[in-house]
Structure 1
Amino acid sequence: MALHSFHLKADWPGLRNDVGTIETGNLKTEISIPPEMDGPGIGTNPDEMLLGAAATCYIITLAAMLERSKIEKESLTMESEGLVDVTNGIITYKKIIHRPKLVLKKDASEKDFSMAGKLAEKAESSCMITRAIKGNVEVELEADISKAK
């Protein structure tokens, strides 16, 4: 087993509604509580970061699977949405919805088209972040796969 270690430094100089910083590798940003939770909304927040981690992991995993399967794409873009429930002061991350839009080359075969759909589904369950949050946060996929015109 080969363990990889990632490190993050955090600084939180004040109280609840202040602004802190995080730094890890190529990411350095301010952090605070989002305005939806009565915070200042400066920089990013844990909710956006979890959504970003899940989306980044998914889209990279899908791109790698397409490459390994030799399926050529015209473009791969995605919008993701995180749904957070705030009830009686208790905050629960409920669901992440990924909406990838994959456009295959116009000469893609029906086999490539079918395989791309299967890979879109498989990438969701293969992603390290999706596996890490499984059982706590539902991850849903709404893939849009088409051919270039």
Structure 2
Amino acid sequence: MDAKINLKTVWNGNTKGNGIIKANYLETKIAIPELLGGSGEGTEPKELLVTSAVACYTMTLAAMLETRKLPVAGLTMDSEATNSKEEGFKIMHYPHIILSADATEEQIQSANRAIVAADKGCAVGNMLKKADVQVGVQGKVSLLSKENVVS
């Protein structure tokens, strides 16, 4: 089955204007960054690209953790994108998996392996890698305690 994604975009004004992109479950403002002469009053293309990579990695990781039947108490992630002449475009994910307090060492190791496997299994990340974007992951696994309750 071929996947089809339909988006509707409306743009108002010139380069200082802004627009809206709508899809089934997405509605977001877009704008040219101020740095490039735009209004900056919306998401810019690279931010959307990184958001897509973040969503793909997170969902891939969540599915892998469920498949492994791990006692996940929480999953959070920070991601960072940088663009430099020396290194090009780079995206780093920093997932933090919190397992229940009684998780075994084997389950902790399985969660650590899932962090790496999700990077290899994320379709969007793999497309970006083919386009010479560096995508990496540095995750951590910890056990549930009073200090790291996810709310």
Give how far 1:93 is off: 6.1
Which deviates more from structure 2 when the two are superposed, residues 72-81 or residues 39-48? 39-48
- Residue number among 96, 107, 110 corresponding to 2:102 in the alignment: 107
Per the alignment, residue 119 of structure 2 pairs with 124
Show CA shifts across 1:25-76 (max 9, x none): 1111220022344432112111111111111111111011010010011110
Q: Percent identity?
A: 34
Query: What is the SS of the residue equivalent to 1:4?
Result: coil
Query: What is the SS of the residue equivalent to 1:118?
Result: helix
Matched letter for residue 24 of structure 1: A
Per the alignment, residue 94 of structure 1 pairs with 89
How many residue pairs were aligned? Answer: 144
Q: Is the 8 A contact 2:7 2:22 kept in 1?
A: yes
Q: What CA distance in whole angstroms lies between the structure 2 residues aligned with 1:81 and 1:29?
A: 20
Give how far 1:13 is off: 3.4
Q: What CA distance in whole angstroms lies between the structure 1 residues aligned with 2:16 and 2:33?
A: 9
Q: Is the 8 A contact 1:66 1:116 kept in 2?
A: yes
Query: What is the SS of the residue equivalent to 2:38?
Result: coil
Q: Is the 8 A contact 2:15 2:37 kept in 1?
A: no
Per the alignment, residue 52 of structure 1 pairs with 51
TM-score by length of 2: 0.87
Q: 1:46 to 1:86 in 2, by over 3 A?
A: farther
Matched letter for residue 43 of structure 1: G
Give unmatched runs, 5+ long, in structure 2.
146-151
Show CA shifts across 1:88-129 (max 9, x none): xxxx96010101111111111111111111110010110111
Q: CA RMSD in A?
A: 1.9
Q: What CA distance in whole angstroms lies between the structure 1 residues aligned with 2:11 and 2:46?
A: 17
Q: What CA distance in whole angstroms lies between the structure 2 residues aligned with 1:43 and 1:142?
A: 29
Per the alignment, residue 148 of structure 1 pairs with 144
Matched letter for residue 139 of structure 1: V
Query: What is the SS of the residue equivalent to 1:16?
Result: coil
Q: Is the 8 A contact 1:8 1:22 kept in 2?
A: yes
Q: What CA distance in whole angstroms lies between the structure 2 residues aligned with 1:64 and 1:118?
A: 13
Q: What CA distance in whole angstroms lies between the structure 2 residues aligned with 1:117 and 1:35?
A: 40
Query: What is the SS of the residue equivalent to 1:12?
Result: strand
Q: 1:86 to 1:38 in 2, by over 3 A?
A: farther
